[in-house]
Amino acid sequence: MNRASSDIVALVREIVDPLVEDKEAVEVTSSFSEDGTERVEIRVAADDAGKVIGRQGRVIKSIRVLARAAACTDGGAVEVELVED
């Protein structure tokens, strides 16, 4: 994971942590696709998923916008997904 990647993961984690009740269950990971797009995956407890999604998806959309803006400063592309197990 390069520096820009760790910055985006830290940014997403800082946004998600205050939203959830079970902070121990929060897991934010990053991987890269072949075309160089970074994929950030958020895993939270099942009870907290709705809080991260928000009404009509507003919270997760905002997280995506902020992550894309942060990645854009380095010329990269990023996708943020909430992963349900």
pLDDT band at 1 (very low <50, low <70, confident <90, very high): low
Q: Which domains does the chain have, with CATH numbers?
A: 3-82 (3.30.300.20)
Tokens for 16, please give them.
Answer: 């998600």
Q: Letter for the amino acid at 17?
A: D
Contact 83, 39 (CB under 8 A): no
Task: Using the predicted structure, report yes or no on whether residue 78 has a pLDDT greater than 70.
Answer: yes
Helices (H) and strands (E) in the chain, counts: 3, 3
Distance in angstroms (rounded) separating the CA atoms of residues 69 and 18: 21
Give the residue among 80, 82, 71 at the shortest CA–CA distance from 20. 82
Question: What pTM was computed for the model?
Answer: 0.89
5-17: per-residue pLDDT in tens? 678 999 999 999 9
- What's the chain's Rg over C-alpha atoms? 12
35-59: per-residue pLDDT in tens? 889 999 999 999 999 999 999 999 9
Task: Using the predicted structure, report yes or no on whether residue 82 has a pLDDT greater than 60.
Answer: yes
